Amino acid sequence: MPKEAVFTMKLDAELRDAFMDAAKHGDRSASQIVREFMRDFIKQDREYLTWLKGKVDEARADIAAGRVCTQEEVEEHMDSLMAELERKGREAAE
């Protein structure tokens, strides 16, 4: 398998020119910056998936332990929270 590969993409000419200009001013090649963007995106995706898996695991543990709410209880709680936020908003506007 080759160590390097070519990546071709279509983009607006104005965006390309602005990007190339910014890369030049940063004394870096466009390829360096795109590789960094790609690495950061992959890292963020992995971090998000790890976070999401943790949340799913927590939710499953809550369900297994019987820590659940009915739809009606959730709606009542959210209605209460929304009413409190609306009240605070009115007070702040006065």
pTM to 2 decimal places = 0.65
Token reading at 30: 């466009």
- pLDDT per position as a tens digit, 40-75: 999 999 999 999 999 999 999 999 999 999 999 999
Confidence of residue 3 (pLDDT cuts 50, 70, 90): confident
Could you write out the DSSP letters of every residue in 16-52? Answer: HHHHHHHHHHTT--HHHHHHHHHHHHHHHHHHHHHHH
Q: What 8-state DSSP symbol labels residue 3?
A: S
Rounded to whole angstroms, the Cα distance separating 28 from 18 reads 14
Distance CA 92, CA 90 (A): 5
